[in-house]
Amino acid sequence: MLVEMNYCYILDGILLLYGLILTVMYCRLRIQTRKKEATCTQKQAPEGGIYAVRHLSVVIKKLFKKARDHQGAVYAAPHGSDFA
């Protein structure tokens, strides 16, 4: 019976050590991502894929909102800026 208790203590120690290692690794990952976000303050322009679609949908929404507010025709330049 005493031998079985020793196995429990050993397994508890291993579990505690495993939990500490995972916690340290998680904290290091969070700190690294925050440092990375702090250094990357400028946003890059969307170049393709889903970001281009998102940018296009935002431009279209602005055009429709402006047209609805002014009740007139709204035209868009090829580079995305709008003028009435």
**What is the band of 84 on the pLDDT scale with cuts at 50, 70, 90?**
very low
pLDDT beyond 90 at 69: no
CA distances from residue 44 to 2, 24, 40, 47, 51 in whole angstroms, order as listed: 64, 32, 10, 9, 11
- In this structure, the dihedral spanned by the alpha carbons of residues 29, 32, 33 and 35, taken in order and rounded to 10 degrees, is 160
Q: What is the mean pLDDT of residues 66-77?
A: 65
**Partners of 83 in beta bridges:** 75
Between CA 78 and CA 84 the distance in angstroms is 14
**pLDDT tens by residue, 13-67:** 999 999 999 999 999 999 988 887 777 655 655 566 666 677 778 888 888 888 8
| pLDDT score for 46 | 53
**Which of 34, 35, 61, 57 is CA-nearest to residue 46?**
57
